[in-house]
């Protein structure tokens, strides 16, 4: 069963979502050549504490970081360490905050300076695929409409979607029903209803769709070593337009 949130629960999801978006924006603003992923993770811990919430990831199935930080060919679930961000890298930041008993989950991909034009295109199309997917998060529609739209947007530009990892329902728990793959068939799957809250999260590869997991047991990397992008929002289905619960001001660049 896909949980339907009550009005009170939705208010709490809004509180959690707003905090999560704020943390992501603040960490994203710190991405620059020379910063270590550990420094970003420690800053995130501080920002999360300032919201009055706590990390939804730290300790989740033993995950050791406050947020997930994944660089270049790392797709998702990267663990912070001594690696220094270099000019031209892309840095995926994925933040989950538990506040008022509910979880917000949101991610973005930040370029460190100017990146290769093909990588810039990857970022633009990946973010666009999230925008289009959210536009399908409509009551009366079907889950497959959201899923199919991601792959359609991405494939039109020659990029591929990761199939082993998927978006998900989100609420009192980080991962709830349903699974939200970045591929599927339009007009199939469960009906979307007001009060459903979904983490929609395209993971898009420049090269092949295949991925593998590093020896740390967490870090997902592309099989061909080419870059990957990730964008994610927690979205509420309403009677009308979808509501992006993790919305934030565009990251301020220094
Ligand atoms: N944020 C990831 C997602 O979008 C899940 C991270 S789980 C963790 O679903 F254990 F790696 F933190
Ligand atoms: Co996430
Ligand atoms: Co998620």
Ligand of minimum distance to the alpha carbon of 200: 3
Ligand of minimum distance to the alpha carbon of 218: 1
The answer to whether the CB of 63 is under 6 A from ligand 1 is yes
32-59 CB burial, b ≥16 within 10 A, e <16: eeebebbebbebbbebbeebebbbbbbe
Domain ranges of the chain: 7-244
Cα–Cα nearest to 17, from 166, 240, 194, 199: 199
Q: What is the CATH number of domain 7-244?
A: 3.90.230.10
CB-hemisphere CA count at 13 Å for 251? 20
Pocket probe mutation, ligand 1, options 55, 63, 79, 94, max atoms within 8 Å of Cβ? 94
Residue 91 pairs with which residues in a beta bridge? Answer: 71, 110
Is this structure's pTM higher than 0.95? yes
Pocket probe mutation, ligand 1, options 65, 96, 182, max atoms within 8 Å of Cβ? 96
Residues of the chain whose pLDDT is less than 50?
252-254
Pocket probe mutation, ligand 1, options 105, 164, 173, 203, max atoms within 8 Å of Cβ? 105
Q: Quick one: pLDDT at residue 252?
A: 46
Q: Quick one: pLDDT at residue 254?
A: 38
Q: Quick one: pLDDT at residue 251?
A: 59
The answer to whether the CB of 165 is under 6 A from ligand 1 is no
Residues in Cβ contact with 51 at an 8 Å cutoff, skipping those fewer than 6 apart: 19, 22, 23, 97, 99
Q: In ligand 1, which atom is closest to the CA atom of 60?
A: 10
């999801």: which residue's tokens?
Answer: 13
Q: Quick one: pLDDT at residue 253?
A: 46
The answer to whether the CB of 61 is under 6 A from ligand 1 is yes
Q: Quick one: pLDDT at residue 166?
A: 98
């Amino acid at each position: 069963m896909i949980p339907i949130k009550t009005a009170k629960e939705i208010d709490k999801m809004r509180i959690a979502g707003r905090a999560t978006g704020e943390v992501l924006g603040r960490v994203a603003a710190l991405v620059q050549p020379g910063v270590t992923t550990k420094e970003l993770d420690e800053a995130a811990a501080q920002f999360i504490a300032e919201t009055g919430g706590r990390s939804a990831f730290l300790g989740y199935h033993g995950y050791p970081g406050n947020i997930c930080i994944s660089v270049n060919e790392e797709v998702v679930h990267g663990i912070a360490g001594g690696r220094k961000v270099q000019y031209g890298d892309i840095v995926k930041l994925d933040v989950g905050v538990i506040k008022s008993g509910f979880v917000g989950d949101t991610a973005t991909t930040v370029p460190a300076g100017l990146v290769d034009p093909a990588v810039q295109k990857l970022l633009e199309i990946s973010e666009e695929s999230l925008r289009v997917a959210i536009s399908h998060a409509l009551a009366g529609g079907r889950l497959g409409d959201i899923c199919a739209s991601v792959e359609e947007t991405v494939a039109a530009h020659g990029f591929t979607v990761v199939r082993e990892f998927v978006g998900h329902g989100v609420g009192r728990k980080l991962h709830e029903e349903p699974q939200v793959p970045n591929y599927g068939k339009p007009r199939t799957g469960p009906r979307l209803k007001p009060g459903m809250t979904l983490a929609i999260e395209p993971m898009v590869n420049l090269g092949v769709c295949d991925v593998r997991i590093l020896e740390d047991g967490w870090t997902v990397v592309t099989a061909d070593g080419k870059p990957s992008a990730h964008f994610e929002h927690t979205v509420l289905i309403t009677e009308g337009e979808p509501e992006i619960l993790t919305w934030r001001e565009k990251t301020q660049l220094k």
